[in-house]
Amino acid sequence: MKKRIIALALMCMATISLANNQETVGDSIEGATDIETNSTTVVYGGGAAVIYDNGPLVNSPGTGIGGEDESVLQVTSLGMNTLGVGHQLSAGFRIADDFTVAGGDWDIESIDFYAYQTNETASTITAVNLQIWDGVPGAVGSTVIFGDGSTNRMNSTGNSGILRVEEATSGTTNNRQIAVSNVTVGITLSPGTYWLDWQSDGSGVSGPWAPPITINGQTTTGNALQSSDNGVTYVALEDGGTLTQQGLPFVVYGTLPPPPVVPTLSLYGLLLLGLIALFFGRRFIRQ
């Protein structure tokens, strides 16, 4: 009898873990009453320039309730079913994706991350912690070079003006209002490939869920990873319907190295070159 109780408890824990892993089409919360859209869209970056954008989230601009942009999950056309990916602090889930620094050192000031909590007004995100790795998270030889898995680095959060919907509910539902949260970084990275590994918390009941990169006609959108044990191990982040790997949107703000100096000739230099060309050109013609 005790063995049966233990087995049932383990099954329940596995079910809860799976539920926290992704929010998919057909979840019980899907039919909840829509809420009023928060029309105030916050712009982030602290005045710094965008130096890297990991991929599109909007694939249907202006088609949502109130004219908001939509990130439309392609359920009918492509068979996808993952609306959002679990990276909630309370469940020990983390998500990760990579980017490449090229052309000299990048001074990274902050990063925008996206998340939603179903049936909550954006934004109910209360915390974001971040780690930057010099290799694949959790892999042998990879090292955390910035951040940790507990410190809240979020300095601001608000409505992104984007709704997460599926094709069947495009233009008719707004109960997944995506928030954008800006995280303070402050690090200079030399050329190479790095991985961001982050986790969010929120005051709502559901999630937080991270919407994957969304591109019309594409089921594979990146090479993101997910951890279910607070970053000890990671697996490929796949859509639950197509089992294809997904990417995660984020925006990096900071300063790029100045462009290389291109030598230029003065007016006198151009005249001198012209005289030289004329002199040798005349000699060539005489010969």
Residue 80 has pLDDT above 70, yes or no: yes
Residue 286 has pLDDT above 70, yes or no: no
Residue 23 has pLDDT above 90, yes or no: no
| pLDDT band, residue 99 (cuts 50/70/90) | very high
Average pLDDT, rounded, for the chain: 86
Say if residues 59 and 71 touch (Cβ distance below 8 Å).
yes
Q: Which has more pLDDT, 162 or 19?
A: 162
Residue 43 has pLDDT above 90, yes or no: no
The residue-averaged pLDDT of 80-101 equals: 96
| pLDDT band, residue 16 (cuts 50/70/90) | very low
Residue 91 has pLDDT above 90, yes or no: yes
Pick the closest to residue 201 from 57, 91, 85, 42 (CA basis): 91
The residue-averaged pLDDT of 16-43 equals: 60
Residue 196 has pLDDT above 70, yes or no: yes
**Burial class of 157 by CB neighbour count within 10 A (0 to 12, 13 to 18, 19+):** buried
pLDDT of the residue at 6: 35
Between CA 134 and CA 103 the distance in angstroms is 17
The Cα-based distances of 45 to 56, 59, 121 in angstroms read 17, 23, 22
Between CA 57 and CA 46 the distance in angstroms is 21
| pLDDT band, residue 261 (cuts 50/70/90) | low
pLDDT of the residue at 38: 55
Mean pLDDT is lowest, of 3-17, 27-41, 164-178, 189-203, for 3-17
pLDDT in tens, 110-164: 999 999 999 988 789 999 999 999 999 999 999 999 999 999 999 999 999 999 9
Give the pairing type, strands 106-115 and 177-189: antiparallel
* Distance of alpha carbon 76 from the chain centroid: 24
pLDDT in tens, 56-71: 999 999 999 999 999 9
DSSP string, the chain: -HHHHHHHHHHHHHHHHHHHHEEETT-GGGGSPP------B---STTPEEEEE-----SBTT-SGGG-EEEEE-HHHH---EEEEE-BGGGT-EEEEEEEE-SS-EEEEEEEEEEB-TTS-S--EEEEEEEEESSSTTSTT--EEEE-SS---EEEEEEEEEEEEEGGGTTT--S-EEEEEEEEEEEEE-SEEEEEEEEEEESSSS--EEPPP--TT-S-----EEESSTTS--EE-B-TTT--B----EEEEEEPPPPPPPP---HHHHHHHHHHHHHHHHHHHH-
What is the torsional sign of CA 111, 156, 235, 57? Answer: negative
pLDDT of the residue at 26: 73
What is the torsional sign of CA 61, 66, 71, 76? Answer: negative
pLDDT of the residue at 269: 67
- Whole-model pTM? 0.82
Any idea where the domains of the chain sit in the sequence? Answer: 2-259
The residue-averaged pLDDT of 274-278 equals: 71
